[in-house]
Amino acid sequence: MPSATGAPLVPDPGMELGDLAAGRSSTRRSLRALDALNFLMADVQGGLGPYLSVFLVSQRWQPGSIGIAMAATSITAAIFQIPAGLAVDATRHKRGLVAASGLVIAAACLVIAGLPQLAPVTAAQTAIGAASALVPPTLAALALGIAGRARFDATISRNQAFNHAGNFAAAGLVGVLGQLAGILWIFYLICGFAAASAASALLIARRDIDHRAARGGEAARTASGQPEPLPIRSLMRRRDLIAFLGAVVLFHFGNAAMLPMAGQVLARSHPGRATIALSACIIVAQLVMTGMAWAVGRAVARGIGRKPIFLVAYALLPVRGLLFSVTDNPYAVVGIQLLDGVAAGIFGVVAILIAADLMRGTGRFNLAQGLVALSVGIGASLSNVVGEYAVQWFGYPVGFLTLAAIAAGAFLYFLRLVPETGAAHAAAAVAGRRAA
């Protein structure tokens, strides 16, 4: 009988069968608490997100000041990605870390609501950026530390489904509360979710977390004979990791600016309908992502490798760009956004699985998560700059076609340069199914 970390449970002479059963029951409860944590943190992690600009406009802020406040979060989050990964790898207080991050974000939102001036809002946004950088690697580390290598794929798939379901529910609640009670109630909603997420984190039993497994460590020394954790200099010489990070940059380079540009097209061609169409896009995409996270877990369990699944996501990006270039119909835009739900749903699961594969035995899994998040930010920034300048110089159709061409190049890059990392896992899954 395997333990939470995938190793056989070998009872010692003083251990009763009831103790083993209690241990398995405790692990199941911790995994359910982790599901709840992923659902609740979906609404907390980004703070106010795009609703901040709406609130600040209502406070008569100038556009330049709004830009400074909005940029504070993204810049701080980018700076803190690698330190956050290192901190999660090192700490044995992962439950407290994710709970504290949520509470810091909630407190920062209350500061913004109570003191809507430039200095306190910028400081609060900076705190949100730093705290939000800690959340994704900590959640992934908890999944690996509780479920272990053997059950990590299924656990991440389920966690991501709960995360997207949380985003879906939060979008609905924000829309209803904003419409019926005013935008200030969004602040209170975030605080309620933060308190509930902190409680969920503390429901995870401390004894169920294998902190060595949580950082990707499995042996006293790595295969190369270097001590664990692997030195950062040696890690950054890994060609497979560098190739994967390049693929992440290109994925978001070809994708991130498409929806904002589509919103601009709608605002020009259908004044007054752009906001509701974009809200529909977000809700529909999150719903599709929930289903895709579950489907990816099923596909991996059947022995399908990471690479063919990820290639589906890469293949959809240029198609999306081509379709956006030929329509400004709000219903068509919402329909095209379904493709983003599929691609992003796949990315959310498989990127974590590949990072775990590459970092196996290095003790640097959460640092790799930080590098992936940094790569996402770089790709998204390039996408917005290049896409918007292409629109400014040549118009929206050319802007979308430019991103589609970049996305097609990203597909070829991933196909040729990123290896299959889950071959051993896939073979084991297929063998297990045949034996059954």
279 and 404 share one domain = yes
> What is the count of structural domains for the chain?
2
Round to the nearest angstrom and report the end-to-end CA distance of the chain: 16
Looking at the structure, do residues 181 and 270 belong to the same domain, yes or no?
no
What is the predicted pLDDT for the residue at 15?
41
Are 211 and 233 members of one domain? no
pLDDT at 343: 93
Question: Which among 161, 191, 215 is the end of a domain?
Answer: 215
Rounded CA gap, 181 and 196, in Å? 22
In a domain, 49, yes or no: yes
Residues 257, 376 share a domain: yes
Question: Same domain for 386 and 310?
Answer: yes
CA angle 282, 408, 373 (to 5 degrees): 55
Residue 135 lies in a domain: yes
Q: Strand, helix or coil at 236? A: coil
Are 166 and 241 found together in one domain? no
CA distance 335 to 80: 36
Q: Residue 13 has what pLDDT?
A: 42
Give how far the C-alpha of residue 38 lies from the chain's centroid of Cα atoms, to the nearest Å.
10
Residue 92 lies in a domain: yes
Q: How many CB atoms lie within 10 A of CB 295?
A: 17
Query: 198 and 307: one domain?
Result: no
d(CA 318, CA 298): 26
Which distant-in-sequence residues (6+ apart) come within 8 Å of 375 by Cβ?
245, 246, 248, 249, 252
Domain boundary at 183, 215, 247, which? 215
Residue 98: inside a domain, yes or no? yes
Cα within 13 Å of Cα(421), Cβ side: 23
Based on the fold, state whether residues 198 and 241 are members of the same structural domain.
no
Q: Are residues 142 and 251 in the same domain?
A: no
Residues of the chain scoring pLDDT < 70: 1-24, 46-51, 53-54, 63-64, 175, 178-179, 217-228, 267, 270-279, 423-436
Residue 60 lies in a domain: yes
Is there a single domain that holds both residue 139 and residue 245? no
Last residue of a domain, one of 187, 215, 243: 215
The closest of 384, 374, 389, 383 to 407, measured between CA atoms, is: 383
**pLDDT at site 75:** 82
Question: Got the DSSP string for 318-380?
Answer: HHHHHHHTT---HHHHHHHHHHHHHHHHHHHHHHHHHHHHHTTTTT-HHHHHHHHHHHHHHHH
Same domain, 405 and 323: yes
How many whole angstroms separate alpha carbon 106 and alpha carbon 103? Answer: 5
CATH of the domain at 265: 1.20.1250.20
Question: What pLDDT, on the 0 to 100 scale, is given for residue 49?
Answer: 66
| 3-state DSSP assignment of residue 293 | helix
Q: Please tell me whether the overall predicted TM-score, pTM, comes out greater than 0.75 for this model.
A: no
Q: Which residue has the tokens 């949580």?
A: 214
Question: Is position 7 within any domain?
Answer: no
Asked whether residue 293 falls in the same domain as residue 374, the answer is: yes
Q: What distances in angstroms separate CA 358 from CA 119, 236, 367, one per listed residue? A: 42, 12, 12
Residues spanned by the domain of 163: 29-215
The C-alpha atoms of residue 83 and residue 138 are separated, in whole angstroms, by 12
Three-class SS state of 219 = coil
The whole-number pLDDT of residue 273 equals 61
Phi/psi at 64 (nearest 5 deg)?
-65, -40
- Asked whether the CA dihedral 44, 45, 46, 47 is positive or negative, the reply is positive
Going by the DSSP 8-state scheme, the letter that residue 8 receives in this structure is B
CA dihedral of residues 45, 49, 51, 56 (deg, nearest 10): 110
Judge residue 39's burial from the number of C-beta atoms within 10 Å of its C-beta, 0-12 exposed, 13-18 middle, 19 or more buried. Answer: buried
Is 13 contained in some domain?
no
| Domain contains 11 | no
